[in-house]
Amino acid sequence: MKGKPDLRVINPDWDEGYERTFKKEKTIMQGLELINFKEMIVAEVFSPGGLQPILDAIAEKVESYVPDLTTEEGRKDIASFSAKIASSKIFIDDRGKEFGEAKRADLKKLDAERKRARDFLIALKIKARKPLTDWEATEQGRVDDILLRINQMKDLVNTIGFNTVQIKEYIDILRKLFKENVFAEFIDEAKIVFENVLNTLENNLSSTIIYEKEQVELAELRKEKEKREVKEKADRAKREVQDANRKLKKEAAEKATKKAEKVANEKIQKAKDAEQKAIDEKKDAQQRVKDAEQKAKDAEQKVKDKIAADFKLENDKRKEREANEKYRAKIKGEFVDYLYTNSRLTKQESGVIFESIVNDEFPHTKIIF
């Protein structure tokens, strides 16, 4: 705004020939009663400090006004004067409101163009970076497969309760997992894991071979002991029968009477019964040996069945862990790609956020696999 506004009259109703010529963002008005707004630019008037000269001019007019309360005409003039100030207030406020609405409409158009440009450039950024993004995804998949293979080798170290056959199978699996041309830049770490796990498995295999050999020897010793006990008992019974026979024969020879013969016969019968009992006990002992052998076989088979079941369970768990790790790696990849594409975060920062959410370190947020 140039110069100080001309002080004239106060309201559009005061002067004849008042003409209002408000033009959008050009001229506010001409012939305003208190202030002459000749060719005043809306943008200048409603810029910071732009209204101050107008307000100062109106204030000056008010300060210089001399009210007359002695006559009715003077009192009406005071009321009219204050009404004209109110009219000026309404006029300025309405023009400011219109100017603000026009500016807000322009801002909406500007925001729409900004959004269009932003969306367009984001799409171009994604398109321009797609070869690198695809390469990074492939590279991440390759690294994840290598790390999964290394973790699988580490998992093979747990062979508690395994027999020699199962440990040998684990050693074969370990050798198949370790292929130097697969691990690339992780070959040093893979070699260390392979050697440590192989060393542990071989030590466990040696210990298990010794243990199983000792168990077989103990079983043989128990079997031989039972056989000796059965034989000794049978021999003892046989000697007792022989001794009884000799004694009976001697008594029969010494006694000629029927009574003696009867007694001798009874003793002979008892000896025979004892011999038969010894034979029966021998058979029973032999049966117990067979039962013990069968029980040992059943126990051995039960142990083998349990070991096989445990091996299958561990193998199923390992496969489930592998599947879960692959699925988690896939979810993590998609999550990291989405954050990386739709924010200013790096791949590493996006990965840190993912791990924080999975570990319940990120408030009010959870990922369910």
pLDDT digits (tens, 9 = 90+) for 258-284: 776 787 788 888 888 888 988 888 888
Residue 35, beta-bridge partner list:
7
Average pLDDT, the chain: 80
Least confident of 16-20, 48-52, 101-105, 205-209: 16-20
pLDDT at 238 over 70: yes
Cβ–Cβ under 8 Å, residues 1 and 45: yes
The model's pLDDT over 283-328, given as tens digits with 9 standing for 90+, comes to: 888 898 888 888 878 888 888 888 888 888 888 888 888 888 888 8
Task: Give residue limits of the domains in the chain.
Answer: 6-124, 156-358
What pLDDT shows up at residue 3? Answer: 42
**What's the pLDDT at 335?**
83
Burial 131-166 (b: 16+ CB within 10 A, else e): eeeeebeeebeeebebbebbebbebbbebeebbeeb
Choice between 2 and 132, residue whose per-residue pLDDT is larger: 132
* Separation between Cα atoms, residue 321 and residue 342, nearest integer Å: 31
Indicate yes or no: pTM above 0.85. no
pLDDT, position 89: 87
Please say whether the dihedral angle defined by the alpha carbons of residues 160, 164, 169 and 174, taken in this order, is positive or negative: positive
pLDDT band at 37 (very low <50, low <70, confident <90, very high): low
